Chains A and B, each alone.
Chain A
Amino acid sequence: MTGSIAGIGAGLAAIGAGIGIGQIGGKAMEGMARQPEAANKIQTAMLIAAAFVEAVALFAVVVAFLTK
């Protein structure tokens, strides 16, 4: 039972991370469309920010594993 509750928690965290990464990706696209010459810099910054957001979802997955 605790396993399934932990799974729900991991799912909720995935929703949050999904919104976050969606925002990052969308805004990066916008930025690149406005300034194509800065695309490389934007892409790097986007990946770093996405990594930070993604880490939160992964923390949730790890916690879900631990409580199982």
Chain B
Amino acid sequence: MNNKRHFTSKFFRAIALFTLFFILALNNAKAIDTLKDAKTTVSDTAKAGIKAEKEEDISATILHHIGDSHEWHFWGEGENKVAIPLPVILYTKNGFVTFLSNKHDADQHGDSIFTVKGQSMVNFEGKYYYPSATKYADGSYVKVDENNIPINDKPLDVSITKNVLALFISVALLLIIFLNIAATYKKRTGKAPKGMQSALEPFILFVRDDIAIPQLGHKYAKYMPYLLTVFFFVWINNLLGLIPIFPGGTNLTGNIAITCMLALCTFFITTFSGNKSYWKHIFNTPGVPWWLKFPVPLMPLVEFIGIFTKPIALMIRLFANITAGHILILSLISLIIILKSVYVSAFAIPFVLFISLIELLVGFLQAFIFTILSALFIGMAIEEHHAEEHH
């Protein structure tokens, strides 16, 4: 019996390992595929004798990969492009208009005007603008400033973009998993965990015992729903970002808007659950010499700014970590293209594999850090100061 169990656990471990390597191999295959496309454009520009544009092209490809878009791109460029078109929802001067992104998407250079609901628009580098009256020297109807940033007016864009769809998918996934687990917990109170519940109970207990209780003390139960949500949301999206095929491959937690919303949640919970002593420590810090508070309120000012810098740091940390990871993987593969030698892949591909494994760790670590810092900030806000001696 014991022997059999040992065998199955080994078997599953082997399967898990193989799946992991399969996913990572796919990841590399896809990235190479897209970089091949970059290569064709690179050789075109090389023919034209423009060397600087090559590096521009590769960094543009990388930035395109980590950015948001109106379509879910798989592979190929131009005619051979395989992508899921996503609905575009714009609030124009004539009200809301909706269309699929491939309907008016012949090119993205801003040189073909289309009309929807009596409102003419152009698509310039994946974004929709109102066209200027005249055509500019580069053939587009969009005026750009010296940094190549368009200055035309644009409609309010509330489209279901790639990131929004990825958000829907991950939220659906979270709801399926955790509604299932919640139902099992209700049904099996006091019994041993079963199925999906036993797979994720260690993580739920980890959040409770290693994050919530040490930081929040006996009042932890009130904040557990938020901490669990934030932990699993960040973690699942970090992991989905590492999967190259359809439901994954987006850079959702590397999107500043998403991390901004998460940080805002922490900010509001911290601010609204702050007790009297928390605010006293901010505006009238005990144990600080009086000349730091009066005539110039230096200390209160610093403490007040600290309320905002903490969530901002939270936001930038997650954003920069995940974005840097994605850029790192893509840049290492780009080395093959930049150095124009297939032998570089002997170094680049194992290194990408290694970095991908590190990214698995970073994905978990960042979810942990985001959650523990949220708990820490909330803990600072609800802490009771019984005695004054520890100042």
Contacts and interface: CB of A to CB of B under 8 A. Distances in A.
Q: Which of B365, B369, B372, B376 is packed against the most chain A CB atoms within 10 Å? A: B369
Contact of A55 (B313, B324, B368, B376): B313
Contacts of A33: none
B214 interface: yes
Contacts of A51: 317, 369, 373
B317 A54 contact: yes
Interface residues of A, number: 12
**Interface SS majority for chain B:** helix
Nearest to A41: B214
Given A44-B210, A44-B214, A55 B372 contact: no
Nearest to B369: A51
Interface residues of B, number: 15
A19 interface: no
A59 B372 CA distance: 20
Contacts of A5: none
B94 to A, nearest CB: 35
B369 A47 contact: yes
A44 B376 CA distance: 12
A66 to B, nearest CB: 11
Nearest to B321: A58
Contacts of B316: 55, 58-59, 62
Contacts of B321: 54, 58
The 3 closest A-B pairs by CB, nearest first: A58-B320, A51-B369, A55-B317
Interface of B: 210, 214, 313, 316-317, 319-321, 324, 365, 368-369, 372-373, 376
**Interface SS majority for chain A:** helix
Interface of A: 40, 44, 47-48, 51-52, 54-55, 58-59, 61-62
A6 B324 CA distance: 16
A4 B313 CA distance: 25
Contacts of A47: 365, 368-369, 372
B372 A58 contact: no
Contacts of B319: 62
Contacts of B372: 44, 47-48
A44 B209 CA distance: 12
B320 A62 contact: yes
A27 B320 CA distance: 26
A57 to B, nearest CB: 9
Q: Which of B319, B320, B372, B376 is packed against the most chain A CB atoms within 10 Å? A: B320
A61 B324 contact: yes
15 contacts: A44-B210, A47-B368, A47-B369, A47-B372, A48-B376, A51-B369, A51-B373, A54-B317, A54-B321, A55-B313, A55-B316, A58-B320, A61-B324, A62-B316, A62-B320
